[in-house]
Amino acid sequence: MSNALYSQLAWLPATPDDFSATCRHLLSEPTELGTRLQRLANHALDENQLNRLAKVIDKAREAGHSLAPLTPFRIGIISNATSHFIVPALVASAARHGIALECIEADFDQVMQAALSPDSPIHRARCDAVLVAVDHRGLPLASTPGDPQAAQAAVEAALGHLNMIRNGLRSHSKAICIVQTLPRPVESSFGSFDFVLPGTPRQLIDEVNRGIALSVAGTEDLLLDVAHIAETVGLADWHDTTLWNMAKLPFASAFLPLYADHVCRLIAAVRGKSRKCLILDLDNTLWGGVIGDDGLEGIVIGQGDATGEAHLQVQRTALALRDRGVVLAVSSKNTDEIARQPFRKHPEMLLREDHIAVFQANWNDKATNIKAIAEELSLGLDAMVFLDDNPVERGLVRRMLPQVAVPELPDNAALYARTLLAAGYFEAIAFSGEDRQRAEFYQDNARRVTLQKQAGDVDAYLVSLNMQMTLQPFDDTGRARIAQLINKSNQFNLTTRRYTEADVAAAQSDPEVFTLQVRLADTFGDNGMISVLICRRQGDDWHIDTWLMSCRVLGRKVEVAVLQELISQAAARGVLRLIGNYLPTEKNKLVEDHYAKLGFTLLETQGAGSTLWELRVGGAASVTLPISIQRIGFASTAEASDAAQS
């Protein structure tokens, strides 16, 4: 069962019996094609089914059909192994994660040539990322058992080879590199002593993998830990020597769906599609038994009982996810007071009420409760994961709310936690102090929403929040978080342009670009960085290239405060007009009227529903706001005005 969990993607629902027929008829009705492709991809597809779905996606592209709301992404693949068989699996798996993926392959075993040549197909394609799928057979990594100096030289040579590839890719494109760790071979010459003796393949590969991880840390490049994937499913199963000898396939084809899913999780994370909230059922999920029937003494949770320890592991996993920023919520068919009893009174419970951002225990259906949770947290349904032992409830939520991720769970509760983590819903590509605090940010926001519902007078409520806003230009300290927000924010994002850290650094240093990072704190806590702006000067105008904001601060007049700062800074620099562009996407309809509400005048409506707006800086009225503002790193108004005149 444990290996099947991974090889068969058992957290996904089984492929429907009519899969082939559905594929045949998908293109006959292209309406909402992207959505239907994503739903079909969200099953446990094997290699043949992935190939079939990828052909449908290719034909849809050739026919010019829209794949919205799937997000376009172009990936290059360079490898010392045969990569062609990977491409269809990547294309189909990407649809599962909300990505319309296009793959550009370099020729077989032309890794260095593709990376270093400025006119290689990889560079000409202007890829968003390049998968450096190189294993130990593609590196200068000769075994030197018993010779520490030679072993160290071999490790340095291998890492130098990979760094040359990455530097070549970086110098000729803006693509992110996805660098793989190396699965070690199964064979052992010295037995257990391989792990001790310098220069053995085991020792060399372990050192190279550490070096890869260290070299990627702190950069825009990403790590794909293939070594961990291979060890999880078993090295002897991962390596198929017959396939390597015959066709130079780097791993057994049975694990192609798993490999492709891991690659696409990273791509989705780059585009801000990792999930943010785990919604938990209670009975037979967080504990064994039914609290309403069995009572506090009758539920099974805690040490000394196999079932109790299995459910305890689910709670440990939920807490570990919360510690890294995932928001926890509860959706249970239960009487509220009874449902809360274990959190308040059971001595073995690890989860307590203050760990839960939103607690929905009532007799509504789960889909209704999940929508209420999303609304209270100001998160989209596509940020939600719902964990429930009941297959009927899982099926209902999948049908009613297909945007919500709902893992299949096995009969054995001991595998619940493992299954949840195996699904990779919360894939991370960075981790900052703000990520660590994210769960508390959203939990505080849920309290604000509750207070606002009770308050009645919105203006009085906003004053009571004692909001303190900090405004400053882009800087080195905030750069990684700024890039993260730009790539993650979808709903309140006027243009949804995506920029790398290098792009952010370029904007930061360009005197013709005005940048702004905005932080907000209030009575309930620190919201962290909640807004980012980039304005590019053209003559006497500032064109608002990027304006995004965290949805958790909507309704608090933050956007008005940001606009007033923008007007003030523009006036000091002799700017006469602010020009704003709204580029509609499936996600950002929320801000369709953003510029109109802020007093901009519509200049024109362009193709695909995009609109262009202007605001005269001199005629803009000032507004009194319930927000105190601190400015850091800006020249005084007089200094900015003098600089503009000179």
**pLDDT of 447 higher than 70:** no
For residue 646, pLDDT over 50 is answered with: no
Give the number of domains in the chain: 3
What local confidence, expressed as pLDDT, does residue 448 receive? 65
Query: 211, 242, 270 — which closes off a domain?
Result: 270
pLDDT of amino acid 453: 59
The answer to whether residue 451 sits within a structural domain is no
Within this chain, do residues 407 and 297 fall inside the same structural domain, yes or no?
A: yes
Does residue 443 lie in a domain region?
Answer: no
Q: Averaged over 166-193, what is the pLDDT? A: 94
The answer to whether the peptide bond before residue 16 is cis (omega within 30 degrees of 0) is no
208 with 285, same domain: the answer is: no
The CATH number that applies at residue 65 is 3.40.50.1110
DSSP per residue, 536-599: EEETTEEEEEEEEE-GGGTTSSHHHHHHHHHHHHHHHTT--EEEEEE---SSGGGGTTHHHHTT
With a cut of 50, say whether residue 364 has pLDDT above it.
yes
Amino acid at 345: K
pTM of the model: 0.78
What local confidence, expressed as pLDDT, does residue 2 receive? 61
Backbone angles phi, psi at 76, to 5 degrees: -95, 150
Question: Percent helix, strand and coil across the chain, each rounded to 5?
Answer: 50, 20, 35
Q: What is the mean pLDDT of residues 86-110?
A: 96
Q: Both 94 and 228 in a single domain?
A: yes
Mean pLDDT for 4-21 is 95
Identify whether residues 250 and 301 lie together within a single domain.
no
> Which residue range forms the structural domain that includes residue 300?
277-422
Give the tens place of pLDDT for each residue, 416-433.
999 999 999 999 988 877
Regarding whether 625 and 548 lie in a shared domain, the answer is: yes
Mean pLDDT score, 398-423: 96
**Same domain flag for 406 and 502:** no
Per the domain annotation, does 469 fall within a domain?
yes
Residue 156 sits in the same domain as residue 258? yes
Q: What is the pLDDT of residue 163?
A: 96
Task: Note the pLDDT tens digit of each residue in 253-264.
Answer: 999 999 999 999
What's 624's domain CATH number?
A: 3.40.630.30
Q: Are residues 405 and 554 in the same domain?
A: no
263 with 133, same domain: the answer is: yes
446 located within any domain: no
> What's the distance, Cα to Cα, between the start and end of the chain in Å?
72
So what's the pLDDT on residue 456? Answer: 52
In angstroms, the CA 611 to CA 476 distance is 33
Is residue 428 included in any domain, yes or no?
no
Report yes or no: 287 and 311 within 8 Å, Cβ to Cβ: yes
Average of per-residue pLDDT across 27-54 = 95
Q: In whole angstroms, what is the distance from residue 405 CA to residue 42 CA?
A: 9
- The pair of structure tokens assigned to 455 is 């308050």
Reported as a single tens digit per residue, the pLDDT across 599-642 is 999 999 987 889 999 999 987 777 888 899 999 988 655 455 55
> How far is Cα of residue 34 from the mean position of the Cα atoms in its chain?
19
The mean predicted confidence, pLDDT, of the chain is 91
The residue ranking higher by pLDDT, 218 or 14, is: 14
Does 614 reside within a domain?
A: yes
**Is 432 a domain residue?**
no
Q: What is the side-by-side strand order in the sheet with 99-105? A: 99-105, 71-79, 129-133, 176-180, 222-224
Q: Do 301 and 339 share a domain, yes or no? A: yes
One DSSP character per residue, 372-428 reads: HHHHHHT--GGGEEEE-S-HHHHHHHHHH-TTSB-----S-GGGHHHHHHHTTTT--
318 found inside a domain:
yes
Are residues 307 and 258 part of one domain?
A: no
Whole-number pLDDT of residue 587: 76
Q: Are residues 297 and 259 in the same domain?
A: no
DSSP strand pairing (611-616 vs 601-605):
antiparallel
Return the closest-CA partner of residue 383 out of 418, 362, 409, 357: 357
Q: Tell me, what CATH number does 358's domain have?
A: 3.40.50.1000
> pLDDT tens-digit profile of 56-69?
999 999 999 999 99
Pick from 110, 113, 102: nearest CA to 75: 102
> Which residues on adjacent β-strands are paired with residue 522?
525
